[in-house]
A = this chain, B = another copy of it.
Amino acid sequence: MAAAVHRLIAHDGLDAATMSAVAREAGFSVGLVQHYFASKDELLLFAYERLTADLLARVAARTADGEAAGRSIRAIMLDCLCELLPLDPARRGEHRVSRAFQARAMDVPTAAEVAVATAGVLRGRVAQGIENGKECGETEAATDAELAAVELTALVDGLADLVYREPARAAAAGAVLADRLAAVLPGRCRHYD
């Protein structure tokens, strides 16, 4: 159901996600949609929450995989942050949906909460990773993890927009991201690698 919303927005923008269009796309009737969601706002909010939850879960999975493979924090983090870049058609679509909801979040307080919460979780995880780096020697002890996390998350946010607008600059974006990550986590882990 939420997937139908995502598909519609990804393909034709947020305005295309009308009740009837969603119902048609999902193969249900309009009445059914109304049965599960009291209003369109609820539907959209649910779809937004679902989107961010999926994204966060994917990041968590990549983290888990990386840890299981014994990779460095820097490598894992680069992996996770690149996941947020619209580098392939699927992620471009997701980016469209995400941005549409973020725009909506400027007018709808409930959506804004989701946006704040998601960004907070992401920033928190990045900060945690950097903090962990101090224990295993990847991060300089003097580094302010919180500030570095603010920088990195803001950077990927901006790079995502850039890559979407100008896909030709994807390589440059990746280079910038890797570079900054290397600056924040310059050391080698004393456990792995």
What residues make up the interface of A, taking CB atoms closer than 8 Å to B?
12-15, 96, 99-100, 102-103, 105-107, 112, 115-116, 119, 146-147, 150-151, 153-159, 161-162, 164-166, 169, 172-173, 175-176, 179-180
Contact = CB atoms under 8 A, between A and B. Distances in A.
A162 to B, nearest CB: 5
6 contacts: A14-B103, A116-B165, A147-B179, A151-B180, A154-B176, A157-B158
A180 B159 CA distance: 16
B116 A106 contact: no
A96 B100 contact: no
Contact of A106 (B99, B155, B158, B172): B99
B165 A119 contact: yes
Contact of A157 (B13, B157, B169, B175): B157
Given A105-B165, A119-B166, A151-B179, 14 more contacts: A15-B107, A99-B103, A102-B161, A106-B164, A112-B165, A119-B162, A150-B172, A154-B158, A154-B162, A156-B158, A157-B158, A157-B162, A158-B158, A158-B159
Contacts of A102: 99, 103, 161
B147 A176 contact: yes
Contact of A150 (B105, B115, B176): B176
A119 B166 CA distance: 10
B165 A115 contact: yes
Contacts of A150: 159, 162, 169, 172-173, 176
